Amino acid sequence: MSRTLQSILFDLDGTLTDPKEGITKSVAYALNQLDNQVEDLDTLLPYIGPPLYDSFIELNGFSEDKARRAVELYRERYSTIGKFENAVIPGIPELLGGLKEQGYSLYVATSKPTVFAEQIIEHYGLAAYFKHVVGSNLDGTRSKKQEVIQYVLDQNDIAPEQAVMIGDRKHDIIGAIGCGVESIGVLFGYGSEEELSSAGADHIASRVEEVGEIIARIREAGIVSGA
């Protein structure tokens, strides 16, 4: 099996788009409904990236039932307003266009429900770049990043050694490792260099343009090795 890079998987929140406003306001809405008053939206930044259900348990100490209710309340606002309180990260369309022109197959692998991810990708004019947009299910299944990545690989007949996962949080890196996929952590999202390095990121990009440069090096290394 050739190790030549062919498929590139992207996280959505914090990697393709900046969802800060929509996510933090929707989390605040849910917490306020549950009598957890939020004074500063910036305190909710840790909610960007990981599965919401897990975050409500880990960050707020909610029970499983209360976490499920919090997710329901979050979606009341997010499904109508929050999903479009978002913005494409500068340079991303150019990066995607360049990679597609070079012959790479591009995919979205997110913990966000697939239905919301598809709507966001379409709304912001990114749909034409991607072969498949995959997220979690609304019933909470396939929410772990490793499950999402594996589903993309399986559904599109992608060999792990011919793929790379790009994301801004440790969950993206840990998920990639679990699937045997090389990873690129990005610093223009919501994860720190320490978080990404500690998780085991193979590469780290501080700028959008650097992502393309790293991908070129990965592909060249695979060709030169003749593996």
**pLDDT tens digit string along 129-187?**
999 999 999 998 999 999 999 999 999 999 999 999 999 999 999 999 999 999 999 99
Domain boundary among 59, 84, 109: 84
* pLDDT at 106 (0 to 100): 98
Q: Does one domain contain both 28 and 108?
A: no
For residue 72, tell me if it sits in a domain. Answer: yes
- Asked if 137 and 114 touch (Cβ cutoff 8 Å), the reply is yes
State residue 221's pLDDT score: 87
- Number of structural domains, the chain? 2
Residue 1 lies in a domain: no
Do 191 and 91 fall within a single domain?
Answer: yes
- Given this model, what pLDDT does residue 224 score? 54
Q: Same structural domain for residues 39 and 93?
A: no
Count of Cβ atoms closer than 10 Å to residue 167 Cβ: 34
Work out the burial of residue 34: count CB atoms within 10 Å of its CB; fewer than 13 is exposed, 13-18 middle, 19 or more buried: middle
Domain-ending residue, one of 56, 84, 112: 84
Would residue 169 count as lying in a domain?
Answer: yes
Distance (Å, rounded) from C-alpha 134 to C-alpha 11? 10
pTM of the model: 0.92
Same domain, 101 and 31: no
Active site residues: 11
In a domain, 61, yes or no: yes
Boundaries of domain holding 199: 7-18+86-225
Q: What is the pLDDT of residues 64-101, one digit of tens each?
A: 999 999 999 999 999 999 999 999 999 999 999 999 99
Q: Mean pLDDT over residues 28-46, rounded?
A: 95
- Cβ count within 10 A of residue 131: 13
Domain identity same for 205 and 143:
yes
pLDDT value of residue 38: 93
Give yes or no for residue 226 having a pLDDT over 60: no
Percentage of the chain lying above the pLDDT 90 cut:
92
Res. 227 pLDDT band, cuts 50 70 90: very low
First-to-final CA distance of the chain? 7
Are residues 186 and 114 both part of a single domain?
yes
Residue holding tokens 């650097």?
Answer: 210
Determine what percent of the chain is predicted with pLDDT higher than 70. 97
Give the count of alpha carbons within 13 A of 10, CB side only: 31
- 25 occurs within a structural domain: yes
Together in a domain, 113 and 212? yes
Q: Which residues contact 23 (CB under 8 A, 6 or more apart)?
A: 13, 44, 47, 48, 78, 82
- Choose the weakest-confidence range: 140-144, 178-182, 193-197, 199-203: 140-144
Same domain, 163 and 150: yes
Among 63, 84, 105, the domain boundary falls at 84
- Based on the domain organization, do 30 and 69 belong to the same domain? yes
In a domain? residue 142: yes
CATH of the domain at 64: 1.10.150.240
In a domain, 128, yes or no: yes
The answer as to whether 44 is a domain residue is yes
> What is the CATH number for 108?
3.40.50.1000
- Residue 18's pLDDT is 97
Same domain for 13 and 25, yes or no, is no
**Per-residue confidence (pLDDT) for residue 223, from 0 to 100:** 67
Q: Let me know whether 63 and 14 are in one domain.
A: no
Tell me the two tokens of residue 180: 């045997």
Q: Are residues 146 and 216 in the same domain?
A: yes
Rounded to an integer, the average pLDDT of 218-223 is 85
Contacting residues for 142 by C-beta, under 8 A, at least 6 apart: 135, 136, 148, 151
